Amino acid sequence: MMPDHGPAQGRRGKFACAMLPAVLVLAACSIANTVPLVPEIASDMPTAWVEPAFSDADAAVSAPGWWRNFNSKELSALIAAALSANPDLAIAGERVHQAEAQVRIAGASLFPELSVGMGSARGRIRPDGAPWVTNDVSSATFTASYELDLWGRNAAGVSSAESTLSASRFDFESVRLTLVAGVASAYFQVLSLRSRLVIARENLVIADRVLAVVDSRVRNGAASALDLAGQRTAVLAQRATIPPLELQERQTLFALALLLGRPPEGFTVGVNYGVDTSAASVTATLSDLAVPRVAPGLPADLLTRRPDLASAEAQLAAAHANVTVARAALLPAIQLTGSAGLASKVLLNFLNAPTAALALGASLVQTVFDAGSLRAQVDVATSHERELVENYRKAILAALADVESALAANSLTADQELLQEQILVQARLALRLAEIRYREGVDDLLFVLLAQRTLFQAEDQLAQIRLSRLQASISLFKALGGGWKINETAQDAVPNWRSR
């Protein structure tokens, strides 16, 4: 006879049943208690900037509406028009709406799925040559199903979707900041090119004036035909500088129209664009603009003031949640189901002695063999998280470099402009003296030509340096986040583009 091990086996079965919940809890903890990866630079930011920075009370602070520090009503009007009609900003807004829908989709997995069905059918059968028999069937069913989220897979999916939504909102803010900076830069370029065109035409007048002097001296026999040919060459060379500047101005104007979401035909700036005034048309110039001094704050502030860094951090959080989802997929899934229904042999009638049915069920599914597919998915998710850690670190380093470069440009271009203004004063004096000495026959035309070229280059260079100063200020405002702060991003920060 076989020995009776019934009591021992019963104790082992009870012990296994008692240990099962503990094993499940430990498995859940091993999945949930994973620490998100964070780059070291995020917790060990520099304490000060390398480049000199303004910190006095008169320095402007990067704040919403920072472009108003340039004291240009036209620029403010252009930016307002761009924010309401730019296609790239509209695209970014739609991506936010899509991410919001994905959060609702992911959140639905935390709730039971309910469904109701009703149907009626009439059929006829003829068994073994007997007369036809008509069968009427009506049924109504109610079903419910729910997956127990023991391992936090569904909750992690919601967390991932929410982090992705945050990243899309931060990306929207990045697009907005880039758009505003792009409009300001293009506007300043248009004004700079127009200033350079004015300078080029004024220099052409000077060259023509000198040509008249040379021509007079040649006719009086005081100068040679070589002098006349040399000055005519200088006039033609100066006239040749005008068409390329006109082309650049038009192309920049067309690019600005695109940023504003407008066709280039008929678009112009510089004549009180969008500003109500009773005065006649007033053309804006670079000299009308202020060059603000910007206080950069501390390097650590960038983590909460730059939307691109906030987006990189949110993407990292989403990747960490996806690792939890992939690990939870290794564990069994428990599904609860229930259904209730009525059936009747009368068409479209449940009052005639219907048959009632009720069912409850639970199922547990565990993958036994998948050739390592689920494990590979965990590896993919884990590697992707490490990739985004490096992406976050790279974004922080790039942000620090952006600010340092902008600070250096602000400081050095200011010094460069002062020096160029002094060069321009001396160049004007040199040309005036060279003309006098040539008219009196003391020096030949070579000194006049050299003085002309020096003056023309000095004036054009000064206009370009002024543009560089303005663009350096734009770059610094943009590098500092444009006054954006992470805790000020709300759900209604993104306009509903579909309502336009």
Give the pLDDT band of residue 43 (cuts 50, 70, 90). Answer: confident
Q: Quote the percentage of the chain above a pLDDT of 90.
A: 49
Per mean pLDDT, which range of 12-21, 95-104, 209-218 is the poorest?
Answer: 12-21
Instruction: Judge whether residue 393 has pLDDT over 50.
Output: yes
Q: Which residues contact 411 (CB under 8 A, 6 or more apart)?
A: 51, 52
Low-confidence winner among 80-84, 182-186, 223-227, 382-386 (lowest mean pLDDT): 223-227
Tokens 């060379």 -> residue: 237
Mode of pairing for the β-strands spanning 60-61 and 294-295: parallel
Looking at the DSSP bridge assignments, the partners of residue 340 are 142, 358
498 confidence band (pLDDT: 50, 70, 90): very low
Provide, rounded to the nearest whole percent, the portion of the chain with pLDDT above 70: 85
If 0-12 CB within 10 Å is exposed, 13-18 middle and 19+ buried, where does residue 136 land?
A: middle
- The residue with greater pLDDT, 52 or 93, is 93
The string of DSSP codes covering 148-165 is E-TTSHHHHHHHHHHHHH
Distance CA(117)–CA(342), nearest Å, equals 11
pLDDT at 279: 37
- The rounded distance, in Å, linking the Cα atoms of 333 and 364 is 6
> What was the pLDDT predicted at 348?
65
For 210-247, write each residue's pLDDT tens digit: 899 889 888 888 888 898 998 899 899 999 999 999 99
∠ CA 274-278-282, rounded to 5°: 65
According to the model, what pLDDT value does residue 181 have?
96
More confidently predicted of 16 and 104: 104
Least confident range of 67-81, 149-163, 345-359:
345-359
Q: Is it the case that residue 127 has pLDDT exceeding 50?
A: yes
Query: How deeply is 29 buried, as exposed, middle or buried, from its count of CB atoms within 10 A (0-12, 13-18, 19+)?
Result: exposed
What secondary structure does DSSP assign to 94-109, as a single string? Answer: HHHHHHHHHHHHHHGG
Chain centroid offset of residue 464 CA: 29
Q: Are 463 and 286 in contact (CB under 8 A)?
A: yes
Q: Residue 376 and residue 379: Cα distance in Å, rounded?
A: 5
Q: Are 262 and 248 in contact (CB under 8 A)?
A: no
Up-side HSE of residue 418: CA atoms within 13 Å toward CB?
Answer: 5
Q: Read off the tokens for 56.
A: 């006095």
DSSP tag of 332: P
Q: What is the pLDDT of residue 23?
A: 47
Report pLDDT for 350: 60
Residue 431 in contact with residue 487, Cβ under 8 Å? no
Report the predicted TM-score, pTM, of the whole model to 2 decimal places: 0.83
Query: Looking at this protein, which amino acid is placed at residue 252?
Result: T
Structure tokens at 179: 């758009």
* Band (201; pLDDT cuts 50, 70, 90): very high
Task: Indicate whether 492 pLDDT > 60.
Answer: no
| Mean pLDDT for all residues in the chain | 84
Q: Is 145 helix (H, G, I), strand (E, B) or coil?
A: strand
Region for residue 372 given its phi and psi (left: phi exceeds 0; alpha: psi -120 to 50; beta: otherwise)? left
- Measuring CA to CA, which residue among 224, 240, 99, 202 is closest to residue 160? 99
Q: Which range is least confidently modeled, 72-86, 203-217, 414-428?
A: 203-217
- For 125-132, what is the mean pLDDT? 79
What whole-number distance in Å separates Cα of residue 194 and Cα of residue 475?
22
Domains contained in the chain, CATH given: 37-111+149-330+373-499 (1.20.1600.10)
Predicted confidence band of residue 281 (pLDDT cuts 50, 70, 90): very low
Three-state secondary-structure class, residue 448: helix
Model pLDDT, residue 132: 81
Nearest Cα to Cα of residue 248 among 333, 191, 308, 204:
191
Condensed to tens digits (0 to 9), the pLDDT of residues 312-324 reads 999 999 999 999 9
Of the given ranges (3-7, 185-189, 334-338, 467-471), which has the lowest mean pLDDT? 3-7
Residues in contact with 172: Cβ distance below 8 Å, sequence separation at least 6, in sequence order: 89, 92, 93, 95, 96, 493, 494
Residues 28 and 21: their CA atoms lie apart, in Å, by 11
- Outline where 339-444 has alpha helix (H): 373-439
Residue-level pLDDT at 275: 42
Among 363, 335, 367, smallest CA distance to 112 is for: 335
How many angstroms separate the CA atoms of 16 and 279, rounded?
Answer: 91
> What are the start-end ranges of the H helices in 220-305?
225-240, 242-259, 302-305
Alpha carbons 82 and 251: distance in angstroms, whole number: 18
pLDDT band at 282; cut points 50, 70, 90: very low
8-state DSSP, 283: B
Query: Token pair of 161, please?
Result: 């979707």
- Nearest partner of 391 among 278, 309, 275, judged by Cα: 309
C-alpha to C-alpha distance for 223 and 217, rounded to whole angstroms: 5
* Paired residues of 123 in beta bridges: 135
How much is the pLDDT for 366? 87
Distance CA 466, CA 470 (A): 6
> In this structure, which long-range contacts are made by residues 433-440, counting pairs with CB atoms below 8 Å and at least 24 apart in sequence?
435/210, 435/213, 438/213, 439/213, 439/217
What's the rounded mean pLDDT across residues 274-285? 48
Measured distance CA(25)–CA(32) in Å, rounded = 10
CA-CA-CA-CA torsion for 160, 166, 172, 177, nearest 10 degrees?
-130
Confidence of residue 15 (pLDDT cuts 50, 70, 90): very low
List the structure tokens of 262. Answer: 């407008």
